[in-house]
Amino acid sequence: MQYDVIIVGGGPAGIFAALELAGKAKVLLIEKGRAIDRRRCPMKEKQVQCVQCKPCSITCGWGGAGAFSDGKLTMSTEVGGHLDEYLDREELKKLVHEVDQIYLNFGAPEKLYTTDSKLLDKFVRDATMADLHLEYSPIRHLGTGRSQEVLIAMKDQLIAQGVEIKTSLAVKRILTKNGDVTGVETDEGSFYAPRVIVAPGREGHEWFTDEASRLGLDRQINPVDIGVRVELPKVVMEHLTDHLFESKYIYYSRTFEDKVRTFCMCPGGEVVAENNSGLITVNGHTHSDRTTENTNFSILVSKTFTEPFKDPTRYGQYISSLANLLGGGVIVQRLGDLLDGRRSTADRIKKGLVRQTLTKATPGDLSLVFPYRHLVDILEMLQALDKVAPGVYSRNTLLYGVEVKFYSSRVKVSTELETAIKGLYAIGDGAGITRGLMQASCSGIIAARSILKK
Protein backbone atom coordinates (compact mmCIF):
# COMPACT_ATOMS: atom_id res chain seq x y z
CA MET A 1 0.00 0.00 0.00
CA GLN A 2 3.05 2.31 0.18
CA TYR A 3 4.43 3.86 -3.02
CA ASP A 4 6.81 6.61 -4.08
CA VAL A 5 4.25 8.14 -6.44
CA ILE A 6 0.52 7.63 -7.02
CA ILE A 7 -0.97 8.79 -10.32
CA VAL A 8 -4.74 9.37 -10.47
CA GLY A 9 -6.00 8.99 -14.04
CA GLY A 10 -4.91 6.82 -16.96
CA GLY A 11 -5.27 9.35 -19.77
CA PRO A 12 -2.33 10.82 -21.73
CA ALA A 13 -1.22 13.08 -18.85
CA GLY A 14 -1.12 10.22 -16.35
CA ILE A 15 0.42 7.77 -18.83
CA PHE A 16 3.28 10.10 -19.76
CA ALA A 17 3.98 10.82 -16.09
CA ALA A 18 4.18 7.06 -15.53
CA LEU A 19 6.45 6.57 -18.56
CA GLU A 20 8.87 9.13 -17.16
CA LEU A 21 8.84 7.61 -13.66
CA ALA A 22 8.89 3.94 -14.68
CA GLY A 23 11.99 2.13 -13.46
CA LYS A 24 12.99 5.10 -11.29
CA ALA A 25 10.29 4.99 -8.61
CA LYS A 26 7.64 2.69 -7.16
CA VAL A 27 4.52 3.88 -9.00
CA LEU A 28 0.81 3.10 -8.71
CA LEU A 29 -1.55 4.34 -11.43
CA ILE A 30 -5.28 4.30 -10.62
CA GLU A 31 -7.92 4.65 -13.36
CA LYS A 32 -11.66 4.62 -12.61
CA GLY A 33 -12.57 3.36 -16.09
CA ARG A 34 -12.02 -0.04 -17.62
CA ALA A 35 -8.91 -1.55 -19.18
CA ILE A 36 -8.66 -0.64 -22.86
CA ASP A 37 -9.53 -4.16 -24.07
CA ARG A 38 -12.73 -4.05 -21.97
CA ARG A 39 -13.95 -0.65 -23.11
CA ARG A 40 -17.18 -1.29 -25.02
CA CYS A 41 -19.97 1.08 -26.01
CA PRO A 42 -23.39 -0.55 -26.61
CA MET A 43 -24.57 2.62 -28.35
CA LYS A 44 -21.84 2.26 -31.02
CA GLU A 45 -21.69 -1.54 -31.28
CA LYS A 46 -25.43 -2.28 -31.19
CA GLN A 47 -26.70 1.02 -32.64
CA VAL A 48 -28.99 1.68 -29.67
CA GLN A 49 -29.62 4.74 -27.56
CA CYS A 50 -27.12 5.39 -24.75
CA VAL A 51 -27.75 2.97 -21.87
CA GLN A 52 -25.88 5.17 -19.36
CA CYS A 53 -22.97 2.83 -18.59
CA LYS A 54 -21.17 3.76 -15.40
CA PRO A 55 -18.47 4.67 -16.02
CA CYS A 56 -18.80 5.57 -19.70
CA SER A 57 -16.29 3.59 -21.77
CA ILE A 58 -16.04 6.32 -24.39
CA THR A 59 -14.93 9.10 -22.04
CA CYS A 60 -12.94 7.17 -19.45
CA GLY A 61 -10.78 4.09 -19.10
CA TRP A 62 -7.17 3.35 -20.00
CA GLY A 63 -6.08 6.03 -22.47
CA GLY A 64 -8.77 8.47 -21.33
CA ALA A 65 -11.22 10.01 -23.77
CA GLY A 66 -8.33 10.17 -26.23
CA ALA A 67 -8.38 6.39 -26.73
CA PHE A 68 -11.57 6.71 -28.76
CA SER A 69 -11.10 10.24 -30.06
CA ASP A 70 -9.57 11.58 -33.23
CA GLY A 71 -6.01 11.42 -31.91
CA LYS A 72 -4.26 14.55 -33.17
CA LEU A 73 -0.78 15.59 -32.04
CA THR A 74 -0.49 19.34 -32.58
CA MET A 75 3.13 20.45 -32.99
CA SER A 76 2.62 23.87 -31.47
CA THR A 77 3.23 25.65 -28.18
CA GLU A 78 0.35 28.04 -28.77
CA VAL A 79 -2.67 25.73 -28.88
CA GLY A 80 -3.98 22.98 -26.67
CA GLY A 81 -3.50 24.45 -23.22
CA HIS A 82 -1.78 26.91 -20.92
CA LEU A 83 1.68 25.35 -20.53
CA ASP A 84 3.29 28.42 -22.11
CA GLU A 85 2.33 30.23 -18.90
CA TYR A 86 4.49 27.85 -16.85
CA LEU A 87 7.39 27.03 -19.17
CA ASP A 88 9.70 29.10 -21.34
CA ARG A 89 8.50 28.94 -24.95
CA GLU A 90 11.71 27.33 -26.23
CA GLU A 91 11.69 24.78 -23.43
CA LEU A 92 8.09 23.88 -24.21
CA LYS A 93 8.91 23.61 -27.91
CA LYS A 94 11.63 21.04 -27.14
CA LEU A 95 9.24 19.11 -24.92
CA VAL A 96 6.60 19.00 -27.66
CA HIS A 97 9.10 17.41 -30.06
CA GLU A 98 10.25 15.00 -27.34
CA VAL A 99 6.67 13.86 -26.71
CA ASP A 100 6.10 13.49 -30.44
CA GLN A 101 9.12 11.19 -30.67
CA ILE A 102 7.77 9.05 -27.82
CA TYR A 103 4.50 8.61 -29.69
CA LEU A 104 6.46 7.63 -32.79
CA ASN A 105 8.43 5.08 -30.78
CA PHE A 106 5.16 3.46 -29.71
CA GLY A 107 3.76 3.22 -33.23
CA ALA A 108 2.31 6.60 -34.21
CA PRO A 109 2.26 7.12 -38.01
CA GLU A 110 5.26 8.82 -39.59
CA LYS A 111 3.17 11.18 -41.75
CA LEU A 112 3.10 14.77 -40.57
CA TYR A 113 0.51 17.09 -42.12
CA THR A 114 2.25 20.30 -43.10
CA THR A 115 2.29 22.71 -46.02
CA ASP A 116 4.71 24.96 -47.89
CA SER A 117 5.01 28.63 -47.03
CA LYS A 118 3.47 29.87 -50.29
CA LEU A 119 0.28 27.86 -49.84
CA LEU A 120 0.12 28.72 -46.15
CA ASP A 121 0.36 32.42 -47.02
CA LYS A 122 -2.68 31.97 -49.28
CA PHE A 123 -4.67 30.23 -46.52
CA VAL A 124 -3.76 32.98 -44.04
CA ARG A 125 -4.67 35.71 -46.55
CA ASP A 126 -8.04 34.09 -47.32
CA ALA A 127 -8.75 33.81 -43.60
CA THR A 128 -7.85 37.45 -42.97
CA MET A 129 -10.20 38.61 -45.74
CA ALA A 130 -12.99 36.70 -43.97
CA ASP A 131 -12.22 38.23 -40.54
CA LEU A 132 -10.78 34.91 -39.38
CA HIS A 133 -7.47 34.13 -37.70
CA LEU A 134 -5.89 30.86 -38.85
CA GLU A 135 -3.81 29.11 -36.18
CA TYR A 136 -1.48 26.89 -38.16
CA SER A 137 0.60 24.03 -36.79
CA PRO A 138 1.86 20.75 -38.23
CA ILE A 139 -0.31 17.81 -37.13
CA ARG A 140 0.39 14.12 -36.70
CA HIS A 141 -2.88 12.21 -36.94
CA LEU A 142 -3.18 8.92 -35.08
CA GLY A 143 -6.86 8.29 -35.79
CA THR A 144 -9.33 6.22 -33.82
CA GLY A 145 -7.99 2.67 -33.88
CA ARG A 146 -4.29 3.55 -34.25
CA SER A 147 -4.55 5.49 -30.98
CA GLN A 148 -5.61 2.34 -29.18
CA GLU A 149 -2.66 0.36 -30.56
CA VAL A 150 -0.26 3.02 -29.29
CA LEU A 151 -1.91 3.12 -25.86
CA ILE A 152 -1.79 -0.67 -25.49
CA ALA A 153 1.93 -0.62 -26.31
CA MET A 154 2.48 2.04 -23.62
CA LYS A 155 0.59 0.00 -21.06
CA ASP A 156 2.59 -3.13 -21.84
CA GLN A 157 5.86 -1.27 -21.36
CA LEU A 158 4.75 0.29 -18.07
CA ILE A 159 3.79 -3.11 -16.68
CA ALA A 160 7.12 -4.57 -17.85
CA GLN A 161 8.92 -1.77 -16.00
CA GLY A 162 7.10 -2.48 -12.75
CA VAL A 163 4.38 0.18 -12.73
CA GLU A 164 1.30 -1.14 -10.91
CA ILE A 165 -1.93 -0.30 -12.76
CA LYS A 166 -5.37 -0.57 -11.20
CA THR A 167 -8.36 -0.01 -13.52
CA SER A 168 -12.08 0.09 -12.63
CA LEU A 169 -11.17 1.78 -9.36
CA ALA A 170 -12.23 5.34 -8.52
CA VAL A 171 -10.35 7.60 -6.15
CA LYS A 172 -12.78 9.12 -3.66
CA ARG A 173 -10.55 11.48 -1.70
CA ILE A 174 -7.04 12.92 -1.73
CA LEU A 175 -5.41 12.40 1.66
CA THR A 176 -3.33 15.15 3.28
CA LYS A 177 -1.71 15.89 6.63
CA ASN A 178 -0.26 19.19 7.83
CA GLY A 179 -0.19 20.63 4.35
CA ASP A 180 1.45 17.60 2.72
CA VAL A 181 -0.18 15.00 0.51
CA THR A 182 -0.11 11.48 1.97
CA GLY A 183 -2.09 9.36 -0.49
CA VAL A 184 -5.56 8.61 -1.78
CA GLU A 185 -8.69 6.84 -0.56
CA THR A 186 -10.60 4.32 -2.72
CA ASP A 187 -13.25 1.64 -2.25
CA GLU A 188 -10.40 -0.87 -1.94
CA GLY A 189 -8.87 1.09 0.91
CA SER A 190 -6.23 3.77 1.13
CA PHE A 191 -2.94 3.90 -0.77
CA TYR A 192 -0.09 6.02 0.49
CA ALA A 193 2.67 8.04 -1.16
CA PRO A 194 4.50 11.33 -0.47
CA ARG A 195 3.84 12.40 -4.07
CA VAL A 196 0.45 12.27 -5.85
CA ILE A 197 -0.12 13.36 -9.45
CA VAL A 198 -3.78 14.11 -10.19
CA ALA A 199 -4.60 13.72 -13.88
CA PRO A 200 -8.38 13.28 -13.87
CA GLY A 201 -9.14 14.13 -17.51
CA ARG A 202 -12.32 15.93 -18.56
CA GLU A 203 -14.45 13.08 -17.20
CA GLY A 204 -13.02 13.73 -13.73
CA HIS A 205 -12.98 17.52 -13.78
CA GLU A 206 -16.03 17.83 -11.52
CA TRP A 207 -14.61 15.45 -8.91
CA PHE A 208 -11.30 17.30 -8.86
CA THR A 209 -13.02 20.69 -8.61
CA ASP A 210 -14.87 19.45 -5.51
CA GLU A 211 -11.64 18.03 -4.05
CA ALA A 212 -9.77 21.28 -4.71
CA SER A 213 -12.51 23.22 -2.88
CA ARG A 214 -12.43 20.79 0.04
CA LEU A 215 -8.64 21.10 0.28
CA GLY A 216 -8.74 24.89 0.06
CA LEU A 217 -6.79 25.17 -3.19
CA ASP A 218 -7.06 28.44 -5.11
CA ARG A 219 -8.72 28.08 -8.52
CA GLN A 220 -9.00 30.21 -11.62
CA ILE A 221 -12.19 30.07 -13.67
CA ASN A 222 -11.56 29.18 -17.31
CA PRO A 223 -14.11 29.90 -20.04
CA VAL A 224 -16.61 27.19 -20.93
CA ASP A 225 -16.86 26.21 -24.61
CA ILE A 226 -20.36 25.44 -25.90
CA GLY A 227 -21.44 24.91 -29.48
CA VAL A 228 -22.34 22.54 -32.28
CA ARG A 229 -20.74 19.80 -34.37
CA VAL A 230 -20.94 20.71 -38.07
CA GLU A 231 -21.18 17.97 -40.73
CA LEU A 232 -20.89 18.59 -44.47
CA PRO A 233 -19.61 16.92 -47.66
CA LYS A 234 -15.89 16.17 -47.52
CA VAL A 235 -15.28 18.00 -50.81
CA VAL A 236 -16.22 21.34 -49.24
CA MET A 237 -13.11 21.38 -47.01
CA GLU A 238 -10.72 19.21 -49.04
CA HIS A 239 -8.61 22.09 -50.33
CA LEU A 240 -7.79 22.80 -46.67
CA THR A 241 -7.79 19.37 -45.03
CA ASP A 242 -5.58 17.76 -47.70
CA HIS A 243 -2.78 20.09 -46.62
CA LEU A 244 -3.55 21.15 -43.03
CA PHE A 245 -5.72 18.20 -41.94
CA GLU A 246 -7.21 20.46 -39.26
CA SER A 247 -7.95 24.13 -39.84
CA LYS A 248 -8.10 26.01 -36.55
CA TYR A 249 -9.95 29.29 -37.09
CA ILE A 250 -10.71 31.97 -34.50
CA TYR A 251 -13.41 34.57 -35.02
CA TYR A 252 -14.77 37.42 -32.90
CA SER A 253 -18.44 37.90 -33.64
CA ARG A 254 -19.60 41.24 -35.05
CA THR A 255 -22.68 41.40 -32.85
CA PHE A 256 -21.22 40.49 -29.44
CA GLU A 257 -17.44 40.26 -29.98
CA ASP A 258 -17.50 36.80 -28.43
CA LYS A 259 -14.61 34.45 -29.18
CA VAL A 260 -15.73 31.66 -31.52
CA ARG A 261 -13.42 28.91 -32.77
CA THR A 262 -13.33 25.73 -34.77
CA PHE A 263 -12.08 22.61 -33.03
CA CYS A 264 -11.35 18.95 -33.77
CA MET A 265 -11.77 18.83 -37.54
CA CYS A 266 -12.36 15.26 -38.77
CA PRO A 267 -11.90 14.81 -42.55
CA GLY A 268 -13.71 11.69 -43.76
CA GLY A 269 -14.88 11.17 -40.19
CA GLU A 270 -18.07 10.49 -38.32
CA VAL A 271 -20.07 12.26 -35.63
CA VAL A 272 -20.38 10.38 -32.33
CA ALA A 273 -22.24 10.77 -29.06
CA GLU A 274 -20.57 10.76 -25.64
CA ASN A 275 -21.82 10.31 -22.11
CA ASN A 276 -20.51 13.10 -19.86
CA SER A 277 -21.61 12.25 -16.32
CA GLY A 278 -25.09 11.29 -17.53
CA LEU A 279 -25.40 14.00 -20.18
CA ILE A 280 -25.26 12.95 -23.84
CA THR A 281 -23.07 15.33 -25.82
CA VAL A 282 -21.59 15.21 -29.32
CA ASN A 283 -18.05 14.80 -30.65
CA GLY A 284 -16.26 13.72 -33.83
CA HIS A 285 -13.79 10.99 -34.84
CA THR A 286 -11.68 10.16 -37.87
CA HIS A 287 -10.81 6.48 -38.05
CA SER A 288 -7.41 5.21 -39.13
CA ASP A 289 -8.88 2.29 -41.11
CA ARG A 290 -11.97 3.72 -42.83
CA THR A 291 -13.43 6.99 -44.09
CA THR A 292 -16.81 8.52 -44.89
CA GLU A 293 -17.87 11.05 -47.54
CA ASN A 294 -18.26 13.72 -44.86
CA THR A 295 -16.10 16.06 -42.82
CA ASN A 296 -17.14 17.26 -39.38
CA PHE A 297 -15.82 19.84 -36.93
CA SER A 298 -17.08 21.78 -33.97
CA ILE A 299 -17.86 25.47 -33.63
CA LEU A 300 -17.45 26.52 -30.00
CA VAL A 301 -18.38 29.78 -28.29
CA SER A 302 -16.16 30.65 -25.32
CA LYS A 303 -17.84 32.36 -22.38
CA THR A 304 -16.43 33.51 -19.05
CA PHE A 305 -18.63 34.24 -16.04
CA THR A 306 -17.82 36.58 -13.15
CA GLU A 307 -20.32 37.97 -10.62
CA PRO A 308 -22.52 36.60 -9.19
CA PHE A 309 -22.40 33.35 -11.19
CA LYS A 310 -19.01 31.57 -11.20
CA ASP A 311 -19.77 28.02 -12.27
CA PRO A 312 -19.42 27.72 -16.08
CA THR A 313 -19.48 23.91 -15.82
CA ARG A 314 -23.04 24.01 -14.50
CA TYR A 315 -24.00 26.37 -17.31
CA GLY A 316 -22.64 23.95 -19.90
CA GLN A 317 -24.46 21.07 -18.21
CA TYR A 318 -27.70 23.04 -18.25
CA ILE A 319 -27.49 23.74 -22.00
CA SER A 320 -26.68 20.06 -22.65
CA SER A 321 -29.58 18.93 -20.49
CA LEU A 322 -32.01 20.99 -22.62
CA ALA A 323 -30.95 19.07 -25.73
CA ASN A 324 -31.28 15.79 -23.83
CA LEU A 325 -34.72 16.82 -22.57
CA LEU A 326 -36.05 17.78 -26.02
CA GLY A 327 -34.30 15.13 -28.12
CA GLY A 328 -33.57 12.31 -25.73
CA GLY A 329 -29.87 12.87 -26.46
CA VAL A 330 -28.16 14.66 -29.35
CA ILE A 331 -30.30 16.85 -31.65
CA VAL A 332 -29.52 17.26 -35.37
CA GLN A 333 -30.85 20.05 -37.60
CA ARG A 334 -30.29 21.21 -41.17
CA LEU A 335 -28.91 24.72 -41.34
CA GLY A 336 -31.71 25.62 -43.79
CA ASP A 337 -34.37 24.55 -41.31
CA LEU A 338 -32.70 26.56 -38.54
CA LEU A 339 -32.69 29.66 -40.76
CA ASP A 340 -36.34 29.08 -41.68
CA GLY A 341 -37.33 28.84 -38.01
CA ARG A 342 -38.60 25.27 -38.15
CA ARG A 343 -37.49 21.96 -36.74
CA SER A 344 -35.86 19.35 -38.93
CA THR A 345 -37.54 16.04 -39.57
CA ALA A 346 -36.12 12.75 -40.80
CA ASP A 347 -37.71 13.33 -44.21
CA ARG A 348 -36.23 16.81 -44.56
CA ILE A 349 -32.75 15.57 -43.67
CA LYS A 350 -33.05 12.71 -46.20
CA LYS A 351 -33.75 15.26 -48.95
CA GLY A 352 -30.43 16.99 -48.25
CA LEU A 353 -26.96 16.28 -49.63
CA VAL A 354 -25.44 15.23 -46.30
CA ARG A 355 -26.03 11.76 -44.88
CA GLN A 356 -25.88 12.02 -41.12
CA THR A 357 -23.27 9.69 -39.62
CA LEU A 358 -24.73 9.83 -36.11
CA THR A 359 -27.94 8.02 -36.99
CA LYS A 360 -29.24 8.03 -33.42
CA ALA A 361 -29.36 11.84 -33.30
CA THR A 362 -32.92 13.14 -33.11
CA PRO A 363 -34.05 15.64 -35.78
CA GLY A 364 -35.19 18.76 -33.95
CA ASP A 365 -34.79 22.49 -33.40
CA LEU A 366 -31.56 23.79 -31.86
CA SER A 367 -33.05 27.27 -31.46
CA LEU A 368 -34.99 25.83 -28.50
CA VAL A 369 -31.70 24.79 -26.89
CA PHE A 370 -29.14 27.56 -27.44
CA PRO A 371 -29.45 31.10 -26.11
CA TYR A 372 -29.90 33.77 -28.79
CA ARG A 373 -26.35 35.04 -28.26
CA HIS A 374 -24.82 31.62 -28.95
CA LEU A 375 -26.93 31.09 -32.07
CA VAL A 376 -25.92 34.45 -33.52
CA ASP A 377 -22.25 33.71 -32.83
CA ILE A 378 -22.49 30.27 -34.48
CA LEU A 379 -24.30 31.57 -37.57
CA GLU A 380 -21.81 34.42 -38.01
CA MET A 381 -18.94 31.92 -37.78
CA LEU A 382 -20.55 29.70 -40.44
CA GLN A 383 -20.89 32.70 -42.76
CA ALA A 384 -17.22 33.63 -42.22
CA LEU A 385 -16.09 30.04 -42.89
CA ASP A 386 -18.13 30.02 -46.10
CA LYS A 387 -15.76 32.64 -47.48
CA VAL A 388 -12.71 30.37 -47.09
CA ALA A 389 -14.63 27.18 -47.94
CA PRO A 390 -17.72 27.89 -50.08
CA GLY A 391 -20.43 25.41 -49.21
CA VAL A 392 -20.10 25.61 -45.43
CA TYR A 393 -23.10 27.96 -45.20
CA SER A 394 -25.29 25.61 -47.22
CA ARG A 395 -28.89 24.81 -46.35
CA ASN A 396 -27.84 21.13 -46.39
CA THR A 397 -25.16 21.50 -43.71
CA LEU A 398 -26.04 19.52 -40.59
CA LEU A 399 -25.65 20.91 -37.07
CA TYR A 400 -25.55 18.59 -34.04
CA GLY A 401 -25.94 19.80 -30.49
CA VAL A 402 -24.74 20.13 -27.93
CA GLU A 403 -20.95 19.96 -27.89
CA VAL A 404 -19.41 21.13 -24.62
CA LYS A 405 -15.79 21.12 -23.44
CA PHE A 406 -15.55 20.93 -19.66
CA TYR A 407 -12.25 22.34 -18.39
CA SER A 408 -13.51 25.39 -16.61
CA SER A 409 -11.62 25.26 -13.30
CA ARG A 410 -7.83 25.66 -13.22
CA VAL A 411 -6.06 25.01 -9.94
CA LYS A 412 -3.24 27.37 -9.03
CA VAL A 413 0.07 25.53 -9.51
CA SER A 414 3.79 26.28 -9.62
CA THR A 415 5.90 26.27 -12.77
CA GLU A 416 6.44 22.56 -12.05
CA LEU A 417 2.64 22.03 -11.79
CA GLU A 418 2.73 21.44 -8.02
CA THR A 419 -0.19 22.77 -5.98
CA ALA A 420 -0.01 24.59 -2.66
CA ILE A 421 -0.20 21.18 -0.97
CA LYS A 422 3.34 19.79 -0.89
CA GLY A 423 3.74 16.79 -3.16
CA LEU A 424 0.35 17.17 -4.89
CA TYR A 425 0.57 17.85 -8.63
CA ALA A 426 -2.36 18.77 -10.93
CA ILE A 427 -1.98 18.08 -14.66
CA GLY A 428 -3.93 17.54 -17.87
CA ASP A 429 -7.32 18.65 -19.14
CA GLY A 430 -9.31 17.82 -16.00
CA ALA A 431 -7.16 20.17 -13.94
CA GLY A 432 -7.76 22.97 -16.44
CA ILE A 433 -4.04 23.11 -17.29
CA THR A 434 -4.32 21.69 -20.82
CA ARG A 435 -7.00 21.05 -23.44
CA GLY A 436 -5.50 18.65 -25.92
CA LEU A 437 -3.51 15.48 -26.41
CA MET A 438 -0.06 16.99 -26.91
CA GLN A 439 0.02 19.44 -23.99
CA ALA A 440 -1.65 16.91 -21.68
CA SER A 441 1.18 14.47 -22.44
CA CYS A 442 3.76 17.23 -21.87
CA SER A 443 2.24 18.10 -18.50
CA GLY A 444 2.77 14.53 -17.31
CA ILE A 445 6.48 14.72 -18.07
CA ILE A 446 6.83 18.11 -16.36
CA ALA A 447 5.32 16.82 -13.11
CA ALA A 448 7.29 13.56 -13.19
CA ARG A 449 10.63 15.32 -13.75
CA SER A 450 9.88 17.68 -10.89
CA ILE A 451 9.37 14.69 -8.61
CA LEU A 452 12.54 12.94 -9.78
CA LYS A 453 14.53 16.13 -9.29
CA LYS A 454 13.30 16.43 -5.71
Contacts for 352 with CB less than 8 Å, ≥ 6 apart: 334, 336, 395, 396, 398
Burial (Cβ within 10 Å: 0-12, 13-18, ≥19) of residue 86: middle
The set of residues, in sequence order, having a beta carbon less than 8 Å from that of 411 and lying 6+ positions away, is 208, 212, 217, 218, 219, 220, 419, 426, 431, 432, 433
Please classify residue 259 by burial: count the beta carbons closer than 10 Å to its beta carbon, then call 0-12 exposed, 13-18 middle and 19+ buried: middle
Tell me, letter by letter, the H, E, C secondary structure of 30-52.
Answer: ECCCCCHHHCCCHHHHCCCCCCC
* Residue 224 and residue 303 in contact, taking contact as beta carbons nearer than 8 Å: yes
Contact 451, 425 (CB under 8 A): yes
Spatial neighbors of 427 by CB under 8 A, at least 6 apart, are 13, 14, 17, 197, 198, 199, 417, 433, 434, 440, 443, 444, 446, 447
β-pair type (189-192, 27-30): unpaired
Distance CA 137, CA 133 (A): 13
Q: Which residues of the chain have pLDDT under 50?
A: none
Can you give the pLDDT at residue 407?
A: 65
Helix, strand, or coil (residue 27): strand
pLDDT digits (tens, 9 = 90+) for 171-228: 999 999 999 999 999 999 999 999 999 999 888 888 998 999 999 999 887 788 999 9
- Say how many C-beta atoms besides its own lie within 10 A of residue 53's C-beta: 16
DSSP 80-139: SBSGGGTS-HHHHHHHHHHHHHHHHHTT--S--B---HHHHHHHHHHHHHTT-EEE---E
Res 47: pLDDT? 61
Separation CA 316–CA 145 (nearest Å)? 29
Residue 215: what pLDDT? 97
**Could you give all domains of the chain from N- to C-terminal order, each with its CATH number?**
5-113+138-220+409-453 (3.50.50.60), 223-405 (no CATH)
